[in-house]
Structure 1
Amino acid sequence: MAFSMRKSKFRHVFGKPLKRDECYDSIRITKSTWDSTFCCVNPKYVAIITEAAGGGSFLVLPIGKCGRVERDAPLVAGHKAAVLDLAWCPHNDDVIASASEDCTVRVWQIPEGGLVTNLTECIVVLQAHQRRVGLVIWHPSAQNILLSAGSDNKIFIWNVGTGEAYVEIEVPDVIHSVSFNLNGCKFVCTCKDKIMRVIDARSGNVLTEGKTHQGSKPSQAVYLKDGRIFTTGFSRMSERQYGLWNENDFSKALCMEDIDQSNGVMFPFYDPDTSMVYLLGKGDSVIRFFEVTDEEPYVHYLNLYQSKEAMRGFGFMPKRGVNVNICEIDRIYKLHNNGLCEVIPFTVPRKSELFQEDLYPDTAADAAAISGEDWINGTDAEPCKISLKQGFVSSGPEPTAVRKSNILDKKVIGTPARPAVDKPKPVAATPAPAAQPAAAATPAPAATPAPATSGVELPPNDANELKSEIAQLKKRIDGQDKIIAKLEKRLAALEGGIEDMVDDEEN
């Protein structure tokens, strides 16, 4: 039986962590047991929920400020209770939303360059939940639209600009995860009652619902760009598993696979540009990654990244922040229990020094496609796209546009033609000029240089003629040199005689 390997350009993706001095160290990471990632990243900043007494706070560091974090580093500290979740705005890299046990959602504006002192004043406080708020998610394409989910079994969709709630949706049980579809007209949520629901984001109507994973532990779901839904959860035997579902039918999974028997909740991170899904679990030391395609079994295992340290939390860098010069397709920020935030780039090995267009299709831009008012009035739009090629810097020499002649134009069939050479005209010898008095003496004309013949192949007859002409010119130059020498001697004698005559007159 012939064995054939499935072809994929991501089959050799590998993760290699950066050195410790290129990571972030000595961070007092929160000890909360809430099922959250505790970390959020964008191309400018990394935000990490920290341990704080008497209130909630989180740390915001510029991406380039690596190394040891000072114990008195400035924090974002405005919540009255622990912070549970963070989310950077996809349309403004300086704006971040935080959810807290104090039943509020706060939106913060980070000053340019990062924090210098503790930030306690937020842009807006969103208050409507009656119990702690555990999830915040921004709309993928509409400006200033934010979704929050709390333990009061309610989901609110806010206009951050005005601070008012557009939509209030109530579900039967506690929400574990929420994910918008590509244009944000609907979202999928998983709940404690083991039911997964697809809900219209404007009306709050349930479009599809059904039981997916049979286990009682929390499950997670993420919308794929083609409308399918990828989930992680537990079986009845408490085995961790993943599944792929049709958004219109939850009666049977497109595929369902068991992973292991660990008890940590698995979080799926989805990259829509590569159609890859990364599975990360709290307490795990392994990151698994898969590719989702249209061919069965739909979810294809690629590889895994394994380390010795267990994960406390993690963040996923948007595609705008990856390094395209080294073929980096994704970057994960892994929180350790010892306070280290480790940076792990995932790259595709390529030897070419050119921009790899097949790895980097146009990705989501940092500009909103529509306004929040247009979205609530019924307008849908997919996220704006940008090319990552503008961030590529070639390590090789810059290509120069050189126009070369066509070598076929010089090719002659048969005997090659003899190159045309202009024959020089013979030069007649001229008699030596008669001696002139000193006042009328004029310098001899400059010698005419011999014509350059380098690089030109002459026929034999022409070469002999040219050699004889060169010999005549040399002979003529020698004769003129003799005449010049005689004239110089005569001039010197005349000048000496004049000086003698002047001396005699003075005496």
Structure 2
Amino acid sequence: CSSPQEGSSLSSPTSSLSSPSSSAPSLSTTSPSQKSLQSILGPSSKFRHTLGTVLPRGTHITNLKGLNLTTPGESDGVCANRLRVAVPLLSAGGQIAVLELSKPGRLPDTSVPTIENGTPVADFCWDPFDLQRLAVAGDDAKIRLWRIPPGGLQETLLEPEAVLRGHTEKIYSLKFHPLAADILASSSYDMSVRIWDLQAGREELCLRGHRDQIFSLAWSPDGRKLATVSKDGRVRVYAPRQSPEPEQEGPGPEGGRGARLVWVCGGRYLLVSGFDSRSERQLYLSDAASLAAGPLAVLSIDTAPSTLIPFYDPDTSVVFLTGKGDTRVFVYELIPEAPFFLECNSFTSSDPHKGFVFLPKTECDVREVEFARALRLRQNSVEPVAFRVPRVKVGGIGLPGLHGGLSQESPSPEERALPCCLPHSLRG
């Protein structure tokens, strides 16, 4: 790694829970009668009756052929924005199919146009600021940036828009900055996290301190910090603009089979999914300001081979968790005090999904009290799944007892951005 440059840019099986008490205020308010009931039964989630529903067949993309089922554990295996879904294919050359969500139905029996990377694909993700740009990490330690034509792929793309070089070994994962355009983070088998300025086409920062494989990385909601979880059982938090070394470090999952992490509750906590020493899937909730103290709570889920991939909805503080090859999506509401995890109805299907990815909140049908929408990748199809709450306030938009209801438009990253959050070279 090179040194940072001056001014550089930047319902479910029975689960067990252990947690110390916290003095943090609750996110919700309850009536005296509810408090009395909660003192007997414990708190319950306002989303406990969440219903996950596969939408009608007319919304599905079918006849998908040659899906690659062996993507690395660090990759979600599928990614989507409001326009398109990208899925890896088993064909030689690291091909990725890019499917238009506005054109559901049966794909042709002949092959569809693809992106051809020329090397096996390790991870891929859409740019949240540029819906036509897809970043792809390869086994050859390069990151390729592809531009999709506005109407979708009409022919196979062979030449990327740009290629980023800097890692010395295979790349694990990619994550775009949540607030600053043209900023991308990547992790690699060379045990570094590198932050790229896509506008300049170069590496700007290299974060050090990892002693083993990096399982997952995540930007904080304000974009100031970046967290990682590694095979060495450690969770690390970096402030990239201050230092290439971690500013905090604490214990993570004991098992070395895989892990994921995400910032929750406005960036106050880190939620880590992983395995214990007996290969049981667990969730670990840690205070992001005091990682060394260890987790505030540990929730045992079940025993299964795949790592639980968390998707956190900041509007409702609900987290969805599922793994590649699972038939179930676990759902919990998170609150900033014990017991921290409030269980909700899970979504189950008769056959395993190969991937599960959530769409922007703008794709939710608020008239149907829908607060999250996902795409379920099966071996031969892509199916939309809607998550709804079965009670509504008159008017169809607000949800009684929820955190401010649902808005029809979630703010874009640009609308949420603050100058103090952006790397120096990208400030206006």
The TM-score bracket by the shorter chain reads 0.7 to 0.9
Q: Deviations over 1:15-74 (max 9, x none)?
A: 010233321222221132411211111111111112211x11211111121122223211
1:426-465 map, 5 Å? none
Identify the residue that residue 397 of structure 1 maps to in structure 2: none
Aligned in 2, Cα 1:378/1:110: closer, same or farther, shift over 3 Å? closer
Aligned to 2:58: 21
Q: Name the aligned partner's letter for residue 340 of structure 1.
A: S
How many corresponding residue pairs?
A: 378
Asked if 1:118 is matched to 2:160, the reply is: no
The one-letter amino acid of 2:222's match is N
Deviation at 1:120?
A: 2.1
Change (3 A) 1:106 1:241: same
SS of alignment partner, residue 149 of structure 1: strand
Q: State the structure with bigger RCO (CA 8 A, min sep 6), 1 or 2.
A: 2
Distance in 1 separating the partners of 2:41 and 2:308: 31
Supply the AA of the counterpart residue of 2:91: A
2:398 is aligned to: 356
2:206 pairs with 1:168: yes
Q: What's the counterpart of residue 233 of structure 1? A: 274
Instruction: Report the equivalent of 2:168.
Output: 130
User: 1:248 offset after TM fit, Å?
Assistant: 2.5
- 1:378 CA displacement: 8.3
**Alignment correspondent of 2:258:** 218
Question: Which of 268, 279, 298 in structure 1 is aligned with 2:321?
Answer: 279
Question: Out of 87, 92, 97, which is 1:59 matched to?
Answer: 97
Distance 1:44 1:258 in 2: 36
Q: 1:287 aligns to what SS in structure 2?
A: strand
CA distance in 1, matches of 2:82, 2:255: 37
- Partner in structure 1 of residue 25 of structure 2: none
Alignment partners' CA distance in 1, 2:361 and 2:303:
32
| SS of residue matched to 2:362 | helix
TM-score by length of 2: 0.83
Question: Contact 1:96–1:108 (CA<8 Å) still a contact in 2?
Answer: yes
Partner of residue 43, structure 1: 82
Where in structure 2 are the equivalents of 1:193-212 lying within 5 Å?
A: 193-202=232-241, 203-212=243-252
Which one of the candidate residues 175, 186, 189 is aligned to 2:225? Answer: 186
- Rg: which structure is higher? 1
Structure with greater strand share of residues = 2
Q: C-alpha separation between the residues in 2 aligned to 1:183 and 1:376?
A: 12
Tell which deviates more after alignment, 176-185 or 319-328: 319-328
Are residues 153 and 274 of structure 1, via their aligned partners in 2, closer, same or farther at CA, if it must alter by over 3 Å?
Answer: same
1:94 is paired with a residue of what secondary structure?
strand
Cα distance in 2 for partners of 1:236, 1:380 equals: 46
Worse-matched range after superposition: 283-292 or 243-252? 243-252
- The one-letter amino acid paired with 1:367 is E
**Quick check: 1:302 aligned with 2:344?**
yes
1:343 aligns with 2:390: no
Question: Unpaired runs of 5+ in structure 1?
Answer: 382-507
Matches within 5 A, 1:228-267: 228-250=269-291, 251-267=293-309
Verify the 8 A CA contact 2:234 2:249 in the aligned structure 1.
Answer: yes
Q: 8 Å contact 1:159–1:372 — kept in the other structure?
A: no
- Secondary structure of the structure 2 residue equivalent to 1:96: strand
Q: Does the residue aligned with 2:247 lie in a helix, a strand or coil?
A: strand
Amino acid at match of 1:359: G
Structure 1 distance, partners of 2:189, 2:287, is: 28
> What TM-score results when the alignment is normalised by the length of structure 1?
0.70
Deviation for aligned residue 1:155:
1.2
* Structure 2 Cα separation of the partners of residues 267 and 22 of structure 1: 25
Which residue number in structure 2 is paired with residue 323 of structure 1? Answer: 365
Distance 2:421 2:235 in 1: 28
Taking only aligned residues, the RMSD between alpha carbons, in angstroms, comes to 2.4
After alignment, is 136-145 or 8-17 more displaced? 8-17
Question: What's 2:29 paired with?
Answer: none
1:249–1:74 Cα change, 3 Å: same
Mapped partners of 2:223, 2:366: distance in 1 = 28
Are the equivalent residues in 2 in contact too, given 1:183–1:380 (CA < 8 A)? no
Matching residue of 1:87: 125
Output the CA distance in 2 between the equivalents of 1:74 and 1:372. Answer: 40
Q: Once the two structures are aligned, what percentage of the paired residues are identical?
A: 29
State how far apart, in whole Å, the 2-side matches of 1:138 and 1:161 are: 13
